[in-house]
Amino acid sequence: MLLFVGLGNPTPNSENNRHNIGFKLIDALNKKFGLSKQKPKFKGLLTTGNVVNKKVYAIKPLTFMNNSGICVRELIEYFKINAEDVIVFHDDLDIEFGKVKAKFGGTSAGHNGIESIDKFIGKDYSRVRIGIGRPKSKTDVSDHVLKDFDEDEMVELKKITDNIIDSISILINKKLDLFSSTVNNK
């Protein structure tokens, strides 16, 4: 059993923000694999089903980015899911837009959603870091992550999302380096 977590903020005006890339991934996963209808549970929107013959839960926390760990902890405690079987999708400023890096554990690098999850379940889980790049100007970082993707970026984001979904079996098998290189070389 696996838990996919997509990080984001649950307001309508946040839908296309860079910070909501995790929500977009969960939506694409739900659509591709025909997971159950999203239901509000565990302070998030929960779906379930099978992905590549593996039972999965997928959730978009409704606790806002900075409190994502509350939702994740409730869900893993209820279903008795090990932290090692949690995979979190989130934006990353330190990775060039369009690039993806998967890793197990590590530091939050200042990402408030990851800091929250670390606080509630520890650091022994996998993360799929989706690059949004740093702002080119001296724009405040919080303004950058809360800004919508532009039209060209939305087209590229669809390709990135498709590549991640097409390579999901590698991720499920926890071959994180192979997953990253496969997604980035499609």
Q: What is the pLDDT of residues 74-102, one digit of tens each?
A: 999 999 999 999 999 999 999 999 999 99
CATH match of 2-184 with 2.160.10.10: no
Does the pTM exceed 0.85? Answer: yes
Asked if 144 is an active-site residue, the reply is: no
Quote the pLDDT of residue 141: 82
Which residue ranges in the chain fall short of pLDDT 50?
none
Q: What is the pLDDT of residues 102-117, one digit of tens each?
A: 999 999 988 999 999 9
Domain borders along the chain are 2-184
Quote the pLDDT of residue 40: 97
Quote the pLDDT of residue 139: 67
Select which of 19, 90, 111, 144 is catalytic.
19
**Three-class HEC string of the chain:** CEEEEECCCCCHHHCCEHHHHHHHHHHHHHHHHCCCCCEEECCEEEEEEEECCEEEEEEEECCCHHHHHHHHHHHHHHHCCCHHHEEEEEEECCCCCCCEEEEECCCCCCCHHHHHHHHHHCCCCEEEEEECCCCCCCCCHHHHHCCECCHHHHHHHHHHHHHHHHCHHHHHCCCHHHHHHHHHCC
